[in-house]
Structure 1
């Protein structure tokens, strides 16, 4: 068992997280679980590492990647959120949501395809949180070859992905429902996924 009913990681899982963190900090790619699907992680502030994620997935460089962080306060260090966006983040994160906001100067152009906004994830998963707190921002994109289905079990990882990463943290089967992508500042849902109805309700009547 990787996580007990109190959310504590097993010794083996803690060691796997340490190995993955060391790999990511060395500029290598890793696979990690979230509450939605398995993610492909690399140092999101390292343009070269980000480029390797695009290459491994076969993803168009104009199709931006999201930024994964371990807390809302960590996200603030890499964003320029408005009060409305910050209120939304505090209401819904950690959770299966990608929040689109203005990026800060630390976020490389390669991550966003040159756009001034970036998607941010704070996963509601103890393994992902432990990893992100150890590494700082990682790419938060599904651990699949572009155009193929998302991965909810390590055993379903494509051979190309397996061969291209230096560490895989197995957290068992994940939830499977993709995150909802939302821009709270402009009240726009770009992709409906988990918690979409609750998000729509908040956007219709925000408490700020």
Structure 2
């Protein structure tokens, strides 16, 4: 395991947040099953608590341990994950209210990025949200990371420059695309055929 990934695994275990690369933008991760760790992410981002965070996991099978997707939703997840997509499904009781702003559904993210998935396979579920202060541009290279976030995390994992296209956020159960991003045309075509 790379030294920076190992340091990030240790930081997450201590309840700290970490910055990690994905195939879209850099993410800000903390233990997504620990309410206190999640609170730190909201603080670092200066994010309103009425805006939920997503659940990042290493693969779809892991996602199924924390969510209750319908057959259509699971089929969608297996079609598009890993990939630049956030899939909104019903969460299990293990997922804290603070992550989802009290909502029954959670956005699930399985990054199509080797380093991110290595990290997630070691840590378990992490928050999946962009590593920027709310309202600021997403971070595609570590040089652009806000100093407050850099100083507030336990580790930073360098994956080089990220492409910069946000993930598409989709609720396949209702056939609704909440945010168009990467692969949006393919997603909308799938939804038209399956919902």
State the TM bucket, normalised to the shorter chain. over 0.9
Q: Secondary structure at the match of 2:86?
A: strand
Residue 194 of structure 1 deviates from its aligned partner by 0.2
RMSD: 0.9
Residue 131 of structure 1 deviates from its aligned partner by 0.1
Whole-Å Cα distance in 2 between the matches of residues 26 and 126 of structure 1? 23
Residue 38 of structure 1 deviates from its aligned partner by 0.1
**Deviant stretches of 4+, over 6 Å:** none
Residue 25 of structure 1 deviates from its aligned partner by 1.3
Whole-Å Cα distance in 2 between the matches of residues 57 and 129 of structure 1? 23
Query: Could you say which residue in structure 2 is the equivalent of 1:59?
Result: 47
Whole-Å Cα distance in 1 between the matches of residues 129 and 83 of structure 2? 15
Residue 79 of structure 1 deviates from its aligned partner by 0.2
Residue 15 of structure 1 deviates from its aligned partner by 1.4
Query: Could you say which residue in structure 1 is the equivalent of 2:94?
Result: 106
* Residue 21 (str. 1) matches residue 21 (str. 2): no
Whole-Å Cα distance in 1 between the matches of residues 12 and 25 of structure 2? 19
* Residue 145 (str. 1) matches residue 133 (str. 2): yes
Query: Could you say which residue in structure 2 is the equivalent of 1:193?
Result: 181
After superposition, the C-alpha distances for 1:34-73 in whole angstroms (9 at most, x for unaligned) are 0000000000000000001001110001100000000000
Aligned residues: 195
Gaps of 5+ in 2: none
Gaps of 5+ in 1: 1-10
Query: Could you say which residue in structure 2 is the equivalent of 1:7?
Result: none
Matches within 5 A, 1:27-106: 27-106=15-94
Whole-Å Cα distance in 2 between the matches of residues 138 and 87 of structure 1? 23
Query: What is the TM-score normalised by the length of structure 1?
Result: 0.92
